[in-house]
Amino acid sequence: MARTRITTQVAIMGAGPAGLMLSHLLAKQGIESVVVEIRSRQAIEETVRAGILEHGTVNLLVDSGVSDRVLREGDRHDGIELRFNGESHRIDFKELVGESVWLYPQTDVFMDLAARREADGGDIRYGVTDTSVHELEGRPKLWFTDAEGQEFEVEADFLVGADGSRSHCRRQIPEAARTQYFHEYPFAWFGILAEAPRSADELIYANSEHGFALISQRTETVQRMYFQCDPAEDVADWDDERIWAEFRKRVNGNGFELKEGPVLEKVVLPFRSFVHAPMRHGKLFLAGDAAHTVPPTGAKGLNLAINDVRLLAEGFESFYGSRSSVLLDSYSDRTLERVWKAQHFSYWMTSMLHTLPGADDFSRARQLGELRSVVSSRHGQAYLAEAYTGWPGR
C-alpha cells in the first residue's frame, strides 16, 4: 500500500508541551503544521511531571490564548523555603526581584494545549508508530503509521524534533555535526504522590546530613514530594512507613512536622545534565528535552522547552512573513544562551542541596557555608530568586 502524502509547512515530532505550543503559536500566525506523537493522549495525561512555571511561561500561556486556567487553578508562589541545619530560610521572590512562579503541573499545561489545538482544528496525530525522519538537508519528510495501520509521509519545509529526551530526531544528526555535553550525578530522586494535606504554603528545598528532600504540592489533598536516593533504588523495597521515616529524618525538626498519608504513587527519577549543540541541522530544529535535560532541582525543564518554541515560532514567522532566515539561523545560539544559564543554575542548586555519597566533614561544612552565604546575603538570595522565577529577556 502506498504512503499517503500530507504536505505542510512545519512537521513537528512530539506532542508534549513544546510541540503543541509551537503548533499553537504557528497557527496564530497562519503557519500550518502537523504534529505526530507516539504516545496516546491519555498516556501523556496520566504521566506525573514537574510543576513549576516561570512568570514568562505563564504569560505566554495566557497571552497566546491557550488558557487562563493556570491563573484560576494554579497557585502563585512568591517564594520558597531553603531548609538546612534544622532551620528554614525563606527566599522572598516578590520582594527580591518583583516576580513569582506558579505551581501548575506540566500535565495540566499539556491538557490546556491539547484542548486548544483540538478546538482550533490543529492536526495532531497521537498514538502513531514506526516514526522516522528523512532528507534533513533537503526537503524533509516525516514517516509514520497511524492506529489503523495506514502509512503516511508528511513532507514539509521544516522539521522540528520536540520528541523528548530519547529523541529520534536528534539521533539522525551526524556525529561530526554536533557536540554533546553530559554530566551524570551519583544520585536520583525518589518521587511520591501522597494523600495528605499541605505541610507548608510554599515549596521546601531541604538539605540534611541524610540527603536532600523537596516538599512540593499538587492539590488540597494530594502532595508531591521527593527525596534523594541511589539511582539503583527499587520502589518495591519501599513501603509507606519506610518512605515517611526517610522524609522525617530529612525535613522534620524544630517544631516542623510533615503531614503524612497514604502513598499513591512512587517512582525513581533519573538525574542528569545534557546539552546537544547546535540545536539545528539543515532543515531540522530541536526543541525542549530533545536538545537538553536539566536536573529537576531548578524546576527549569518545561520552562526551557517553552522558551525554545517561543524563539522558534518567531523564526518561522519572520521566515514566512518576510522571507528572512536571520532569526532561524540564530535560533540555536540564542536559545542555548538561556539553556546554559539554566544548566548552571540547576547544577548549582543540585550541588548545594544534595549530599554526595561518602562526603567528608569538609564537604559537609563547606556546603553549610555555601547555604549560609546565600541566605544571609541579599545578593545571594536575589541571584536564586531571579534564576528560579526566570531571567528577564530571552
Residues in contact with ligand PHB by CB under 6 A are: 50-52, 203, 214, 216, 224, 296-297, 299
The nearest distance, CB 336 to ligand PHB, in angstroms, is 22
Tell which residue, 82, 117, 93, has the closest CA to residue 251: 82
CB of 67 to ligand PHB, least distance (A): 19
Q: Which is nearer to ligand PHB, 81 or 317 (CB)?
A: 81
| CB 46, min distance to ligand PHB, A | 15
Count the alpha carbons within 13 Å of 78 in the hemisphere toward its beta carbon: 5
Catalytic residue among 77, 141, 281, 292: 77
Which helix H or strand E contains 18, and what residues bound it? helix 17-28
296 is catalytic: yes
Cα(10)–Cα(91) distance, rounded to whole angstroms? 42
In the complex, the smallest distance separating the C-beta of residue 379 from ligand PHB, rounded to whole angstroms, is 22
Our answer to whether residue 300 is catalytic in this structure is yes
CA distance 131 to 154: 11
Name the residue number minimizing CB distance to ligand PHB.
216
Nearer to ligand PHB, 104 or 244 (CB): 104
Residue 279 vs 299, nearer CB to ligand PHB: 299
Q: Which is nearer to ligand PHB, 158 or 205 (CB)?
A: 205
Using alpha carbons, select from 204, 389, 351 the residue that is nearest to residue 271. 351
Instruction: Confirm whether 388 is a catalytic residue.
Output: yes
The C-alpha angle with vertex 388 and arms to 384 and 394, in degrees rounded to 5, equals 115
The SS3 of residue 359 is: coil
Q: Calculate helix-pair angle for 17-28, 301-322, nearest 10 degrees.
A: 30
Sheet containing strand 75-77, edge to edge, reads 52-54, 101-103, 75-77
Which residue number, 8 or 346, has a Cβ lying nearer to ligand PHB? 346
Catalytic residue among 205, 295, 331, 354: 205
CB 234 → ligand PHB: shortest distance, Å? 21
CA–CA dist 286, 11 (Å, integer): 12
Pairs from 249-253 (Cβ < 8 Å, separation ≥ 24): 249/208, 249/210, 250/206, 250/208, 250/210, 250/211, 250/212, 250/213, 251/83, 251/204, 251/206, 251/208, 251/213, 251/215, 253/86
Which of 142, 204 has the CB closer to ligand PHB? Answer: 204
C-alpha pair distances (Å), 227 with each of 144, 176, 213, 378: 39, 39, 4, 28
Q: Exactly one of 105, 226, 296, 331 is catalytic; which is it?
A: 296
Q: Compare residues 14 and 105 and give the one whose CB is closer to ligand PHB.
A: 105
Angle at 192 between CA 188 and CA 194, to 5 degrees: 165
**Distance (Å) of CA 307 to CA 273, 289, 340:** 18, 12, 13
Closest to ligand PHB by CB, 53 vs 142, is 53
Asked if 272 and 293 touch (Cβ cutoff 8 Å), the reply is yes
Catalytic residue (one of 185, 226, 331, 388): 388
Q: What is the spatial distance between Cα 379 and Cα 381, in angstroms, rounded to a whole number? A: 5
Where does residue 388 fall: left (phi above 0), alpha (psi -120 to 50 degrees), or beta otherwise? alpha
Catalytic residues: 77, 205, 296, 300, 388
